[in-house]
Amino acid sequence: MRFLFLAVLAVSSFPVLGWELTIAFTNDLHVALENLELLEPYLLKADLVLDAGDTWEDLYRLTDFPAAEEIARWMERVGYDAKVLGNHDAYLGPSLVELIRTLDFAVLGTNIRGIPGVVPWISVQRNGLRILILGFLGPKRAVYFPYPLWPKARVLDPIAAAQEALGKAPEHDLLIIVAHMELADAVALALSVPECALLVLGHDHLFLEEPVWAGHVPIVQAGHRAQAVGLVTLNREGLRDYRLIRVGNPPRTSPVTLLPIVFVALLFLLGSVRQ
């Protein structure tokens, strides 16, 4: 009996053989409330639901905090597991901290310091797998964290922060990264973490019909403003399937909104240059 117990314990410490994991993801939703219902059928059926940032704010339409709260409640209802902080999320200013405190899913920032409530990683279990999820913002602080809104925030080098996090994070069977940065920076990050099974990317608003490969790491992205959702299937061999599913049209904007956008952008630029 003792031998049997030890054998069961040993087997249970290894990942499930023949496993398969379905991941649904979004990025750059920019509070496109009118399109969210079209995403739901795909998100509700997935084993893991992730978002790659710029979820809660849209300068083009001057969205407000109640709209951010509305999309956050929707994300909880459809079962998001985590999102990475995007630069437009940071444009909410101090109210972002208030929003994060109310969430039942993680807001990731492996290379972010000085934002209360943002965590370096989460570990979840799905289909018998221990899954570690890291989240990174791009390395250009002036772009991703305008100084006037977050004078104490720091954005560390993603590659160095990834290595530090992996040295401290719990044991895991599968590593997934969500990142909000330019594609070139994401490729560099993926190449530095070759054990990563998938990198879900936001920021460039790319409708990637096929993954961009950085070594053996597939990088995927699903457009912007809830016009598409990405579906990924992983197994022991790696990426088994990837689909970009287009579902909606972009929200309408008015040319008048360009004036406040230019004004706010100038404020951010002046503050960053002064710093």
Q: Which of 152, 85, 148, 66 is nearest to 114 (CA)?
A: 152
The predicted model scores a pTM of: 0.87
Q: What mean pLDDT do residues 28-35 have?
A: 95
- Residue carrying structure tokens 């750059």: 28
The CA-based diameter of the chain, rounded to the nearest angstrom, is 76
Tell me the two tokens of residue 41: 């059928």
- If one counts every other C-beta atom within 10 angstroms of the C-beta of residue 206, the result is 19
Per-residue pLDDT tens for 87-144? 999 999 899 999 999 999 999 999 999 999 999 999 999 999 999 999 999 988 766 6
Fold topology of 17-274:
Purple Acid Phosphatase; chain A, domain 2 (3.60.21)
Per-residue pLDDT tens for 227-247? 999 999 999 999 999 999 999
pLDDT at 65: 93
Q: What mean pLDDT do residues 202-207 have?
A: 98
Q: Which of 69, 62, 57 is nearest to 31 (CA)?
A: 57
pLDDT at 257: 46
Per-residue pLDDT tens for 182-192? 999 999 999 99
Of 238 and 151, the structure prediction assigns the larger pLDDT to 238
